[in-house]
Amino acid sequence: MKHKINYLGLLSLLALIGILGLVTENNGLFGFVGFAYYLRYFWVIPDEFFRLNVQKAATFAFMAEMISLVPFMFGCTYLYGAQRAVPMAFGLSFAVVILAFTLALAVLEWKEQKGACND
Residue 119 above 60 pLDDT? no
> Domain total for the chain?
2
| 25/15 same-domain check | yes
| 116/64 same-domain check | yes
Range of the domain at 41: 1-45
| 33/52 same-domain check | no
| 81/94 same-domain check | yes
pLDDT tens digits for range 9-59: 999 999 999 888 888 988 888 888 889 999 999 988 888 898 999 999 999
| 71/24 same-domain check | no
Grade residue 101 by pLDDT with cuts at 50, 70 and 90.
very high
Average pLDDT for the chain: 88
Mean pLDDT of 71-93: 91
* DSSP-derived secondary structure for the chain: -PPPP-GGGGGGGGGGHHHHHHHH--GGGGGGGGGGGGGGGGGS---HHHHHHHHHHHHHHHHHHHHHHHHHHHHHHHHH-HHHHHHHHHHHHHHHHHHHHHHHHHHHHHHHHHHT---
